């Protein structure tokens, strides 16, 4: 756990048996397991089987993310706030992944939903909360302009997450990704739907700030 962020298990593309085995190994060695992008079948298997092999385990699910801890696990704590912003309902599950990672690291999470640029007032109403965060993650698909608009309103580092929530030309997240890379304000970008990576990068920044604070 060199990087100060949990080694997550990427469930996608793996057999259910493999995912459970990897989660059990993580619980065995670190008292915690974090699984992302899991299917319903994989989630059910994790919920059932982890509580059998680790009777003291707590297994929590959030969207397609599963987090399990055993009694021995010591929760981290971090004196820093990550603001997590979504443009609309469809961006929620990706932001949930970010939230799980940051919370796991002990950061304070401030989640701000539904502030799309089509109704700018709602965005402007949140400027104070946006400015109070130490680092911002902004997830958006058809509202790919949102991170640009937000980065223009704050002095905080912004990490943009393109979401595959449109249809037609570039609707698989490519339009959002390209727009974010071309942004005329300052931000950096992660892969399409990579809520986990955004959360991990935000955690690294939050931890550096926390280190400097304490």
Ligand X SMILES: Nc1ncnc2c1ncn2[C@@H]1O[C@H](COP(=O)(O)O)[C@@H](O)[C@H]1O
Distance of CA 57 to the CA centre of its chain: 23
Question: Three-class SS of residue 67?
Answer: strand
Sketch the per residue contact string, 61 through 100, with ligand X: x for CB under 6 A, - otherwise.
---------------------------xxx----------
In the list Mg ion, its own copies, ligand X, none, the entry touching 20 (Cβ below 5 to 8 angstroms by class) is none
Q: Which residues are CB-neighbours of 22 under 8 A, at least 6 positions away?
A: 9, 14, 33, 35
The only residue of 23, 26, 37, 83 in contact with ligand X, by rule CB under 6 A: 37
Query: Nearest-CB residue to Mg ion?
Result: 151
Q: What angle do CA 126, 131, 137 make, to 5 degrees?
A: 85
Our CB check for its own copies shows the closer of 74 and 155 to be 155
Q: Is 15 in the site for ligand X (CB under 6 A)?
A: no
Question: Three-class SS of residue 122?
Answer: helix
Q: With CA atoms as reference, report the closest residue to 82 among 62, 97, 93.
A: 97
For residue 159, give Cα distances in angstroms to 60, 194, 199: 26, 11, 9
- Please give the size of the binding site for ligand X, defined by CB under 6 A: 14
- Please give the size of the binding site for Mg ion, defined by CB under 5 A: 4
Task: Give the nearest distance from C-beta 81 to ligand X in angstroms.
Answer: 23
- Please give the size of the binding site for its own copies, defined by CB under 8 A: 80
Q: With CA atoms as reference, report the closest residue to 196 among 103, 83, 90, 98.
A: 98
Rounded Cα gap, residues 41 and 152, in angstroms: 42
The only residue of 20, 27, 33, 36 in contact with ligand X, by rule CB under 6 A: 36
Sketch the per residue contact string, 116 through 155, with Mg ion: x for CB under 5 A, - otherwise.
-----------------------------------xx---
Rounded Cα gap, residues 108 and 69, in angstroms: 19
Task: Give the nearest distance from C-beta 162 to its own copies in angstroms.
Answer: 8
The only residue of 48, 56, 72, 118 in contact with ligand X, by rule CB under 6 A: 118
Residues lying near ligand X in the complex (CB under 6 A) are found at 7-10, 36-37, 88-90, 118, 184, 194, 196-197
């Amino acid at each position: 756990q060199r990087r100060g962020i949990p080694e997550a298990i990427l469930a996608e593309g793996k057999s259910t048996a493999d995912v459970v085995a990897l989660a059990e190994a993580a619980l065995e060695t670190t008292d915690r397991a974090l699984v992302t992008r899991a299917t319903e079948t994989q989630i059910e298997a994790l919920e059932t089987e982890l509580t059998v092999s680790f009777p003291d385990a707590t297994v929590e699910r959030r969207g397609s993310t599963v987090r399990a801890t055993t009694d021995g696990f010591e929760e981290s704590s971090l004196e820093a706030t990550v603001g997590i912003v979504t443009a609309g309902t469809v961006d929620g599950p990706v932001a949930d992944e970010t939230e799980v990672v940051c919370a796991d690291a002990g950061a304070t999470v401030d989640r701000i939903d539904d502030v799309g640029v089509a109704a700018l007032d709602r965005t402007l109403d949140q400027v104070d909360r946006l400015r109070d965060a130490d680092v911002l993650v902004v997830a958006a698909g058809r509202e790919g302009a949102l991170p640009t608009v937000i980065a223009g309103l704050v002095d905080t580092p912004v990490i943009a997450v393109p979401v595959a929530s449109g249809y037609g030309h570039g609707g698989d997240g490519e339009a959002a990704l390209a727009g974010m890379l071309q942004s005329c304000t300052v931000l950096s970008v992660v892969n399409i739907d990579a809520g986990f990576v955004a959360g991990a990068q935000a955690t690294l920044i939050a931890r550096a700030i926390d280190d400097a604070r304490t």
